[in-house]
Amino acid sequence: MSKLLGISSLFFAVLAGALLVLAAGADAAPNRGSRLSGVHGEEGLLPKSCRACHRGMSMAIRGEEEVCLTCHGSEVDRQQMIAADFLRAGGIRGRMADIGAELRKTYNHPVLTVRGVHRSSETLPETNPSAPRHSECVDCHAPHDLTREEPFRGIPGKRVGSFTTDVTHEYELCYRCHAESANRPARSSNKHALFRTTNPSFHPVEGEGANAYVISLREPYKARKTRPGEISTISCSSCHGSDDPQGPRGPHGSRFRGLLKRNYEMETGRPESDYAYALCYGCHSRGSILGNESFPYHAQHIQGRPGVRDSGTSCYTCHDSHGSTRYPHLIRFNEDVVRPNASGQLRFDSRGVASRHGSCLLNCHGVEHAPKSY
């Protein structure tokens, strides 16, 4: 028995010594042998390496946001991390934004409001239609791998044949929840299906648009890029993100519905203004739209008929800002407003992508289109 006690004591003594050596080594060379490969692996930023996040009960991180917000939250919390030497001010490049404040805005990814749902083993897109919707920092960011230039580096999501590779484009990250997910809300569209470059029309996220001539585009936007500095493709975060122009990158929160960077009125009967459709006018010239350069009745539809109150309608009534699987020019009728005409017809007939001519067969605001052509 005494021999067994001696062996046991020796074992615990060796174990304690090993832990002390590891702790000392972590202070001396915190990132040596670490699996950190991105910005969080920089000794000049996180001098205590893993222990900046994995401390105390946080050793078993469940995917909740508290650990992230100690650095990426309020300035008070950040200064406490600096004072404890978990975060080094000299390693911070630029300004660290308060992501917590963004997540508390009216429209947000529900990081703060949905808790205890994330599973470390979960696979996205979700295959279980009854799985609760949620969003955590780790759904979009792999903390061991991300870099300043690639905030979604290390996130799996792009399927190539029977394999899944890392996300390389922002839209692939968004598709993890907003495309083929089995638990997508009923009124939510499959964004992957809408952005396909084989569609009749789409905003140029996966590639340049179907229409090679978009007369309303403002500089530096072009339907086809031919010179340096021109922009012919956009990303999801071109429209979705902070309403603060100086705010952090990415769609964390906004005061505008749809988690949009700018205001976009989607109800019918609202007065037209630069603010009402600020999202659209960010890329498309208001003067061109109201000047009827791309559609001879644009101004009448948006501003309304002279002398007829509330007769104007939103861009959203006729256009889908992601894409259209049926029509050119992003045409998709909002059937909460647009109805079939007396003959039961509700469609748009195009006369060519570039010709800007077509016919509408429908009823809108009590006006029969049977058809109305332009």
Asked if residues 157 and 167 have their Cβ atoms less than 8 Å apart, the reply is yes
Tokens of 181: 């997910």
91's CB contacts (< 8 A; 6+ apart) are 42, 44, 45, 46
| The pLDDT of residue 101 is above 80 | yes
| Integer angstrom CA distances of residue 260 from 72, 222, 264, 275, 279 | 21, 22, 8, 13, 8
DSSP string, 178-209: HSS-TT--TT---HHHHH-TTSSEE-SSSSS-
For residue 361, give the H/E element and its range: strand 358-364
More confident residue, 12 or 367: 367
Confidence check: pLDDT of 193 > 50: yes
Cα angle vertex 291, ends 230, 276, to 5°?
Answer: 80
pLDDT at 97 over 90: yes
Long-range pairs, 355-358, Cβ under 8 A, ≥24: 356/294, 356/295
Asked whether the beta carbons of 311 and 191 are under 8 A apart, the reply is no
Radius of gyration of the chain (CA): 27
Task: Grade residue 365 by pLDDT with cuts at 50, 70 and 90.
Answer: confident
What tens digit of pLDDT does each residue of 231-272 get?
999 999 999 999 999 999 999 999 999 999 999 999 999 999
Cβ neighbors of 367 (< 8 A, separation 6 or more) are none
Any bridge partners for residue 202, and if so which?
323
- DSSP letter assigned to residue 323: E
CA 143/CA 186 separation, integer angstroms: 32
Measured CA distances, 322 to 130, 238, 285, 291, 363 (Å): 26, 12, 19, 24, 24
Identify the residue whose tokens are 């006006």.
367
Confidence category of residue 10, pLDDT binned at 50, 70, 90? very low
Residue-wise pLDDT for 120-158, tens only, equals 888 899 999 999 999 999 999 999 999 999 999 999 876
| Backbone phi and psi for residue 256, each to the nearest 5 degrees, phi listed first | -100, 140
Helix (H) or strand (E) holding 100: helix 99-103
Contacts of the segment 2-10: beta carbons below 8 A, 24+ positions apart: none
Confidence of residue 353 (pLDDT cuts 50, 70, 90): low
The pTM for the full model equals: 0.87
Structural domain spans, the chain: 28-178
pLDDT category at 6 given cuts 50, 70, 90 is: very low
* pLDDT value for 4: 39
d(CA 305, CA 88): 61
pLDDT score for 305: 85
HSE of 249, CA atoms in CB hemisphere, 13 A:
13
- How far apart are the C-alpha atoms of 247 and 229, rounded to whole Å? 24
Cα–Cα distance measured from residue 106 to residue 85, given in angstroms and rounded to the nearest whole number: 34
